Amino acid sequence: MANPNEALVNEPREAILDAAALCFMERGFNATSIDDIARRLSATKGMVYHYFSSKAELFFEIHHRAMDALFDGLTPIAESGLPAPERFTAMAESYVRTLILTQPYQRTVSEAVQMLLRSSTTAEQRAQLERLQARRNRCEELFMAVLEEGIGNGTMQAIRPRVSIKPVFGAMNSVIQWYHPREGDTPAQLTELINEVVQVSLRGVMK
């Protein structure tokens, strides 16, 4: 994410979304106010409202951006001609990398899922969350299609694919909860971490 002061001048909508995602990650949706977001930006509440009509609009826009980032990485790999195991692994690497690089956005998605499960929403918010959940399900279906292809040609394994895919996603998604960037980490170290997470996540479906 860019320096918030510079970004607020050059790309104000992006700066507001970045600040809101960080606030939602740290405080949660219900505990975050527009004032909190404005303070993080060293801006006024009026500046935030100039671009976004409500906290809920910010929340759902962050959710859309998070899913866009995942699909942008996954779709070209899913549509490639790689053999199923290599394609599945490359998709998992892209998925985990995106989770890490857009962590505040992805944590907001995680909270949205919990809000839907708890039904702690208005009727309008719940309808939006259900549409967003359908999009998350399509993300899982991209992986499912490759897994089923691999099972069909004997290069991957799962007794019940729709059960086996759940711990795969559980392990991959956990990275947004425990990952903390460290000063001085190199791109090579990040790639090594991603590879380790993917190896652990996929061991139940790989031969």
For the chain, which residues make up each domain, given as ranges? 1-53, 55-202
Fold that domain 1-53 belongs to in CATH: Arc Repressor Mutant, subunit A (1.10.10)
**Mean pLDDT within 111-115:** 68
CATH number 1.10.357.10 given to 55-202: yes
- 3-class DSSP state of 156: strand
Closest of 204, 63, 61, 78 to residue 139, by C-alpha: 78
Q: Would you state the pLDDT for residue 171?
A: 97
For the stretch 40-67, pLDDT in tens is 999 999 999 999 999 889 988 999 999 9
Is the confidence at residue 118, as pLDDT, over 90?
A: no
- 3-class DSSP state of 160: coil
Among 74-78, 112-116, 143-147, name the one with the lowest average pLDDT.
112-116
Across 96-108, b (16+ Cβ under 10 Å) vs e yields bbbbbebbbbbbb
pTM comes to 0.88
Determine the Cα–Cα distance for residues 132 and 109; give it in Å rounded to an integer: 9
Q: Under 8 Å CB-to-CB from 12, ≥6 apart: which residues?
A: 47, 51
